[in-house]
Structure 1
């Protein structure tokens, strides 16, 4: 079994699933895909935003009163991430592939490293929208994964259908 870990920023589209599967069509052994979707932490995001704005002193105590609302927001975020993962896995399965998936609240590279170790991943594919600034400064997931993992890491940009000009 050849295990490939996919770190995806958002739902795997049909063209992207096909592109990923096509990369491995000539392998002599079966391939299993492990889809990993990072899930944002709503409470940490709000607290980080307030700190960055220098307003934590003004709103910090009020944040404690919003924990229930943040918990509801986190449930919605988690639900969407799980649905995204499920649809991505289904697209790979529809192409006749073995696939499983999950979400993570950890930093994406930490979750990726853990998943690669857990499943014995032999290859990593990171599928993202274009991030010019992050790539320029080598702060993106791909460069970080290459520094932390001892397996091949491929970065693909999500497929964007060209809109026909009228």
Structure 2
């Protein structure tokens, strides 16, 4: 069994799923894909924003009254991320592949490292939209993964169906 961990920024499109599967079509052993979707923590994001603005003293106490709204927002975020993971897994399965998926509220690289360790992944594929500034300064997921993991890490840019249909 050859385990590939996929860290995806958004739902795996049908062309992207096909591209990923084609990378392993000549493998002598069966491949299992483990799709990981990072999920934003709504409350932590709001608190970090308030702290970054230096306004925690002014707005921090007001967060307590907003907990219910934040919980509802988090539920919606989690539901979307789970749907993204589920649809991505299904696209891989529709291509005859073994696949499973999940979401994580941890930092994406921490979640990736934990997943690779847990499934004993032999390869990582990171699918993102282009992030020119982060890539230039080597702060992107791919460079971080390469620094922390001892397995091959491939970075693919997501297929943009709008640009493809315009060509």
Q: TM-score when scaled to structure 1?
A: 0.97
Partner of 1:11: 11
Counterpart check, 1:95 vs 2:87: no
What does residue 40 of structure 2 align with? Answer: 40
More deviation, 36-45/49-58: 49-58
What do residues 30-74 of structure 1 show as CA deviations (whole Å, max 9, x unaligned)? 000000000000000001111112222111110111111101111
Is 1:126 the equivalent of 2:109?
no
4+ aligned runs moved over 2 Å, structure 1: 161-165
Following the alignment from structure 2 to structure 1, what is the Cα–Cα distance between the partners of residues 131 and 139? 10
Question: What is the alpha-carbon root mean square deviation over aligned residues?
Answer: 0.9
Segments of 5+ residues of structure 2 without an aligned counterpart are none
3-state secondary structure, aligned to 1:65? helix
How many angstroms apart in 1 are the aligned matches of 2:60 and 2:27?
54
* Residue 150 (1) aligns with residue 150 (2): yes
- Higher normalized helix content (fraction of residues): 2
What residue in structure 1 maps to residue 56 of structure 2?
Answer: 56
What is the total number of aligned residue pairs between the two structures? 165
In the TM superposition, residue 163 of structure 1 has moved relative to its aligned partner by: 3.6
